[in-house]
Amino acid sequence: MVGVTNSDPADRGDGADSPAANPGEESLETTVQELSARMDALSKQVSGLREELHDEREQRGKLEGELEARDERIDELEAEVARLDARTDILEVVENADKMSGKQRAVTLVQHLHRAAKARERRDEPPAATVDRDEAEEALHFPDIDRTTIYRDMERAARLIDGNALKYENGELRLDLDTGTLPRKYTADEEGENL
């Protein structure tokens, strides 16, 4: 009798090596395929989210640029409003210059110096301003009064303010906001309106 020999020593003839006979391997292969498919799907999601993030960042940059442009425009408009308010104040002073009392002229000089000092402060310069008689007369818009009255108005302005902020020396009226402050009733607020 001729014996049948199996050339594959791993095959024991019991069918244990067939794919159907090892369900764990098939299940593992299915799990690996499912995980691979899931990773592909997640990778596509991540790519999509990255694109959305990039688009959102571009949109944000565009909006920030628009906001910056609007802020600059607002600053320009605020400066123009302040300029127009100051001009309105000047026009009122011009109209009333000849009718002003000595105290009103002194207060006008203090307000003029205060605006000038605040303008310097906004430019990061020392908050101080000085006027001589000619500049004082110009600030008062050349009222029909003599020179000595202007000097008296400058002296009166210095007497209005207690402390070291405002001084009259050698024919000049000097305001230095680093050395003191002015009472609110003698200043002009930021809009240029008299308080």
Question: Number of H helices and number of E strands within the chain?
Answer: 4, 3
* Mean of all residue pLDDT scores within the chain: 79
* DSSP structure class, residue 52: H
Global confidence as pTM? 0.48
129 touches 79 (CB < 8 A): no
Task: Look at residue 27 in the predicted model and tell me its pLDDT.
Answer: 83
Task: Look at residue 49 in the predicted model and tell me its pLDDT.
Answer: 92
Distance CA 103, CA 152 (A): 10
Task: Look at residue 90 in the predicted model and tell me its pLDDT.
Answer: 64
* Intervals of the chain under pLDDT 70: 1-24, 89-98, 142-144, 188-195
Count of Cβ atoms closer than 10 Å to residue 180 Cβ: 14
Query: Can you give 60-125 as a three-state secondary structure string?
Result: HHHHHHHHHHHHHHHHHHHHHHHHHHHHHHHHHHHHHHHHCCHHHHHHHHHHHHHHHHHHHHHCCC
Task: Look at residue 195 in the predicted model and tell me its pLDDT.
Answer: 33
